[in-house]
Amino acid sequence: MIDKSYVVAMAAYNAWQNESLYRCASQIGGAERRKDRGAFFSSIHATLNHILWADMSWMSRFAGTPAPTVAPPQSTSMFSKFSELQTKRVEMDGVIQTWAADLDPEWLKSDLHWFSGLLKKDVSKAKWILLTHFFNHQTHHRGQVHAMLTAAGTKPDDTDLMLMDI
């Protein structure tokens, strides 16, 4: 089972990596960010939207923060303006880091019960597993964005967790 120190470290890693990707994404034009690059969610912009959408969804379950106002099929187009997407990303990273810092370790030992709109049913899972999924999902899709940004001619920071100052 994970512990609070893992959650705090991964929340910091999430913010560190997002800063790198958004910095690089801001260096290319909107057409380049929206270009279909053959990724699962097609473009840099769409994938960044999806990551934020998923983070908002999970944090609404974990911390009671507002859930996204769009359904999963619209997760890739939640914010059309890059500046707004970037602002919301920074805000969400702050929410995640504050929540992680204030996390009661006992919370990790129980199950989370929620209605999954994706599965269309009630679900119950161990919170520590869901939190591991939360961070893994971010990392997975950020890797896709990293590859797309590299192909677009930018140079995002290294992604190795061991390189992060903690």
Output the pLDDT for position 166. 72
Burial class for 60, CB neighbours closer than 10 Å (0-12, 13-18, 19+): middle
160 pLDDT more than 90: no
Burial 89-113 (b: 16+ CB within 10 A, else e): beebbebbbebbeebeeeebeeebe
Summary mean pLDDT of the chain: 95
Residues 64-103: tens digit of each pLDDT: 999 999 988 899 999 999 999 999 999 999 999 999 999 9
Query: Would you say 63 and 100 are in contact if contact means Cβ atoms under 8 Å apart?
Result: no
Residues 19-53: tens digit of each pLDDT: 999 999 999 999 999 999 999 999 999 999 999 99
Q: Higher pLDDT residue, 116 or 96?
A: 96
Alpha-carbon 116 to chain mean position: 18
Query: Would you say 53 and 78 are in contact if contact means Cβ atoms under 8 Å apart?
Result: yes
Confidence of residue 146 (pLDDT cuts 50, 70, 90): very high
Sequence-ordered strand ranges (E) for 26-166: 111-116, 121-126
Output the pLDDT for position 84. 97
DSSP letter at 110?
S
**All domains of the chain, ordered by start, with CATH?**
4-102+110-158 (1.20.120.450)
Output the pLDDT for position 8. 97
